A and B are shown apart, each in its own frame.
Chain A
């Protein structure tokens, strides 16, 4: 009778850790998990430890994974088993979030209010669980990346966290503010259109 590890409902990296522990004792094993991340982590574990793996999708959306360690392969001793609890960072997300800021103010109408709203908007992007993969600045939006910009700190923090900040070169040239930029990389319409076309979700507030 093969041992069964029921890892459904457990948060990453529990399923793969339990699987690794069980494989140290058993040659054959069935693991039940309920998400793709756990399946991928266990696949990597199997590959690193030389186990045969067979994954079957169950009717309830969970997965049954059968692992068999070959007789010649000793139990894996190392700790490097390639666990990844996030399927991707902002840049590798299957449906990347792209935000276009085409003005230094949010919305049309009152200018002072538009500036306040933009400050709030950019600051709030930092609280998103999934940060934007890219932020594109064009027209007066490029002013947001200058050293005088009230949102520069927040943009820098987004860039540090992995967001790519594309600043329209034509616009920077037009406003003659190249020397004033404090964040982002000068970009062109090819990159901008490419980023828009590759977006899973495109927000133009």
Chain B
């Protein structure tokens, strides 16, 4: 999960939401990586999920109705 990218990150309202989302996605076989929210996106200490753009639609579908995504940003 540390290849060259490009990457996108999914932001959540809380650390707990990010962790729950990670578990759900893992269960669905969607590989993400929990990383600190990049400085350019927020100065608060938080975590987000990083993933390749190719899995974005699967990721959104897997979380629909379960965990709200605040935003998806390019990394």
Which stretch in A54-62, A113-121, A131-139, A196-204 binds the other chain?
A113-121
Let me know if B36 and A123 touch, CB within 8 A. yes
Asked if A150 is at the interface (CB within 8 A of a chain B CB), the reply is: yes
Let me know if A119 and B34 touch, CB within 8 A. yes
Q: Which of A139-153 contact B (CB under 8 A)?
A: 150, 153
Give the CA-CA distance A127 to B54 in the complex, in Å.
25
User: Could you say which residues of chain B place their CB within 8 Å of the CB of A113?
Assistant: 15
User: Could you say which residues of chain B place their CB within 8 Å of the CB of A116?
Assistant: 15, 19, 34, 47
Q: Which of B1-60 contact A (CB under 8 A)?
A: 1-2, 15, 19, 33-36, 47
CB distance from A185 to the nearest CB of B (A): 20
User: Could you say which residues of chain A place their CB within 8 Å of the CB of B36?
Assistant: 120, 123-124
Asked if A70 is at the interface (CB within 8 A of a chain B CB), the reply is: no
Give the CA-CA distance A181 to B16 in the complex, in Å.
29
CB distance from A109 to the nearest CB of B (A): 14
Give the CA-CA distance A76 to B33 in the complex, in Å.
52
- In which size bucket is the chain B interface? under 10
Contact of B2 among A112, A119, A120, A154 (CB under 8 A): A154
Asked if A157 is at the interface (CB within 8 A of a chain B CB), the reply is: yes
CB distance from B61 to the nearest CB of A (A): 24
User: Could you say which residues of chain A place their CB within 8 Å of the CB of B1?
Assistant: 153
Chain A, interface SS category: helix
Give the CA-CA distance A119 to B22 in the complex, in Å.
13
User: Could you say which residues of chain A place their CB within 8 Å of the CB of B2?
Assistant: 153-154, 156-157
User: Could you say which residues of chain B place their CB within 8 Å of the CB of A153?
Assistant: 1-2, 33
Give the CA-CA distance A153 to B1 in the complex, in Å.
7
User: Could you say which residues of chain A place their CB within 8 Å of the CB of B19?
Assistant: 112, 116
Q: A116-B47, A120-B47, A157-B2 are in contact. Are A150 and B15 (CB under 8 A)?
A: no
CB distance from B38 to the nearest CB of A (A): 9
Give the CA-CA distance A105 to B47 in the complex, in Å.
16
Give the CA-CA distance A10 to B34 in the complex, in Å.
40
User: Could you say which residues of chain A place their CB within 8 Å of the CB of B47?
Assistant: 116, 119-120
Given A116-B47, A124-B36, A153-B2: 10 more A-B contacts, CB < 8 Å? A113-B15, A116-B19, A116-B34, A119-B34, A119-B47, A120-B34, A123-B33, A123-B35, A123-B36, A153-B1
A residues apposed to B, CB below 8 Å: 112-113, 116, 119-120, 123-124, 150, 153-154, 156-157
A-B pairs, top 3 by smallest CB distance, nearest first, are A120-B36, A153-B2, A123-B35
